[in-house]
Amino acid sequence: MTIYNYISIGSAVLVIILILIQTRGASLGAGLGGGEEVNTVRRGSDKTVHQITIFLVFAFAASLVMHVVA
């Protein structure tokens, strides 16, 4: 296995965990678009988790591209 495989697997697992940690609403209806909140502002740890998730998604995509190129 190459380093790109380890990065892909690790970032994929972490992205899944971070996405499951993030909350969007109090119920299933809110998760499916039935929530009252239209615009929300992320603050504190929620913002940090969101930014880490975005970074890991880019790392995952880059590792897949590098794996195909290499």
In terms of pLDDT, which residue wins out, 24 or 56? 56
pLDDT tens digits for 4-53? 888 888 889 999 998 888 876 544 445 555 555 555 666 777 888 888 88
Q: What's 34-54 look like in SS3?
A: HCCCCCCCCCCHHHHHHHHHH
Q: Is residue 35 part of a domain?
A: no
Q: Is residue 36 part of a domain?
A: no
Place of tokens 């929300």: 40
Q: Is residue 57 part of a domain?
A: yes
* pTM (global) more than 0.75: no
Q: Is residue 30 part of a domain?
A: no
Q: Is residue 32 part of a domain?
A: no
Q: Is residue 65 part of a domain?
A: yes
Q: Is residue 34 part of a domain?
A: no
Interhelix angle 45-69/3-21, rounded to 10 degrees, is: 150
Range of the domain at 62: 3-25+43-69
Tally of domains in the chain: 1
What number of CA atoms fall less than 13 Å from residue 41's CA on the CB side? 2
